[in-house]
């Protein structure tokens, strides 16, 4: 791939594993220097940075919990030591509680909302002052934002809030030349799916119903993020781009 994003800088949250790791790799492949945010996965983050540096990119691993204001302040203080500006922010990190809504508590609600939705605002508030025109903010969401999925109630609600916030930020930041979009992935067999008691059924259902399937990879999702970063995507703003091989439109 040509260096279509040469000289650009990116921050990817939750980049040590899964889809975030594939996004960081894809952006680096396209020419970006990358700040690799992690929370627990220090070794994986450092090994990814080693890989990106071997590609000739600058890469720095930065620990932070994305839903916590002080922690996000520290993330950006650290980022500023390596990068004087930020062109691309990918809010990918997510966490949550898989339980029936009838068993959920306020603590569960706050954890899902703060980590999965509020984080985007925390990150955007700190990124935008150092983001030039042409900048991109991309948030990772899921079909659970618009469909009721067993045990996914609070995470789904947080993803719905996230998509709504994407639209608001797109409106607020549009005049600055910054585009804000969401990417909604179908079922990707990352570590997160191991926590779903219905994992096998989810994957089987995806295999059956995705016309472009049978498997959706982290690289497929990273490709969509990459597309939104291109100059040609300049008029795509406030959109949720579904990357699921046609799963959601299949009866
Ligand atoms: N997998 C799917 O089928 C699927 C489908 C649709 C949408 N998505 C979305 O795609 C994104 C990535 O999913 P994934 O499947 O790749 O997840 P994953 O493999 O479970 O990885 C989750 C990532 O989030 C990070 N993280 C969790 N809590 C964090 C916190 N408080 N602060 C900072 N980082 C935190 C983790 O970092 P550490 O390991 O460093 O703690 C990890 O890198 C998520 O937004 C998810 O909702 C996934």
How many structural domains is the chain composed of? 1
Q: Residue 7, exposed/middle/buried by CB under 10 A (0-12, 13-18, 19+)? A: exposed
Among the listed residues 8, 38, 152, 226, the single catalytic one is 152
Is residue 91 in contact with ligand 1, taking CB distance under 6 Å? no
Is 81 known to be catalytic?
A: no
**Strand 179-185 to strand 136-142: parallel, antiparallel, or no bridges (unpaired)?**
parallel
Q: Is residue 105 part of a domain?
A: yes
pLDDT of residue 213: 84
Give the active site residue among 81, 99, 107, 159: 159
Q: 250 lies in a domain?
A: no
Q: Is 188 in the pocket of ligand 1 (CB under 6 A)?
A: yes
Whole-prediction pTM value? 0.98
* Predicted pLDDT of residue 1: 52
- Secondary-structure percent of the chain, ordered helix, strand, coil, rounded to 5: 50, 15, 35
**Residue ranges of the chain with pLDDT lower than 50?**
none
Q: Does residue 251 sit within a domain? A: no
218 lies in some domain: yes
Q: Are 163 and 240 in contact (CB under 8 A)?
A: yes
For 179, the domain range is 9-243
- Residue 15 CA: nearest ligand 1 atom is 43
Tens-place pLDDT, residues 30-88 = 999 999 999 999 999 999 999 999 999 999 999 999 999 999 999 999 999 999 999 99
- Ligand 1, atom nearest to 14 Cα: 43
Q: Answer whether 15's CB lies under 8 Å from 37's CB.
A: yes
Identify whether 249 is part of a domain. Answer: no
Q: Is residue 71 within a helix (H) or strand (E), and if so which, with residue range? A: helix 69-82
The answer as to whether 248 is a domain residue is no
> Is 210's C-beta closer than 6 angstroms to any atom of ligand 1?
no
CA of residue 37 to ligand 1 center, whole Å: 11
Ligand 1 lined by 226 (C-beta under 6 Å):
no
Q: Rounded to whole angstroms, how far apart are CA atoms 223 and 206?
A: 19
- CA 77 from chain centre, in angstroms, equals 21
Question: How far, in Å, from the CA of 18 to the mean position of ligand 1?
Answer: 7
Q: Comparing C-alpha atoms, which of 221, 112, 233 is closest to residue 181?
A: 233
Residue 4 lies in a domain: no
Kindly report whether the peptide bond that precedes residue 171 is cis, defined as omega within 30 degrees of 0: no
State if residue 250 touches ligand 1 by the CB under 6 angstroms criterion.
no
| 1 within 8 A of 30, measured Cβ to Cβ | yes
Protein residue with its CA nearest to atom 46 in ligand 1: 94
**pLDDT tens profile 140-155:** 999 999 999 999 999 9
* DSSP letter (8 states) at residue 6: T
Return the pLDDT at 240: 98
Query: Among this protein's residues, is 39 annotated catalytic?
Result: no
Residues contacting 192, CB < 8 A, separation 6+:
18, 94
Residue 208 in domain: yes
CA of 202, closest atom in ligand 1: 3
Query: Which residue in this structure is represented by tokens 């922010």?
Result: 89
Q: What is the CATH number of the domain that holds 136?
A: 3.40.50.720
> Is the distance from the beta carbon of residue 94 to the nearest atom of ligand 1 less than 6 Å?
yes
């Amino acid at each position: 791939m040509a260096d279509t994003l040469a000289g650009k800088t990116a921050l990817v949250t939750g980049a040590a594993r899964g889809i975030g790791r594939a996004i960081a790799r894809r952006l680096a492949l396209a020419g970006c220097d990358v700040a690799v945010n992690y929370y627990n996965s220090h070794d994986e983050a450092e090994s990814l940075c080693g890989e990106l540096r071997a590609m000739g990119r600058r890469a720095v691993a930065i620990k932070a919990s994305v839903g916590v204001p002080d922690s996000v302040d520290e993330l950006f203080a650290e980022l500023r030591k390596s990068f004087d500006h930020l062109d691309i922010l990918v809010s990918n990190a997510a966490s949550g509680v898989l339980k029936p809504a009838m068993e959920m508590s306020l603590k569960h609600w706050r954890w899902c909302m703060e980590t999965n939705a509020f984080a985007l605002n925390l990150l955007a508030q700190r990124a935008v002052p150092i983001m030039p025109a042409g900048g991109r903010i991309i948030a990772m969401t899921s079909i659970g934002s618009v469909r009721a999925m067993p045990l996914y109630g609070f995470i789904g609600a947080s993803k719905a809030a996230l998509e709504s916030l994407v639209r608001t930020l797109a409106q607020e930041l549009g005049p600055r030349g910054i585009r804000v979009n969401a990417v909604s992935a179908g079922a990707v067999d990352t570590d997160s799916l191991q926590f779903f008691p219905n994992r096998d059924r989810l994957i089987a259902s995806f295999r059956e119903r995705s016309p472009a399937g049978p498997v959706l990879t982290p690289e497929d999702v990273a490709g969509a993020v990459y597309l939104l970063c291109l100059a040609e995507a300049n008029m795509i703003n406030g959109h949720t781009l579904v990357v699921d091989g046609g799963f959601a439109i299949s009866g």
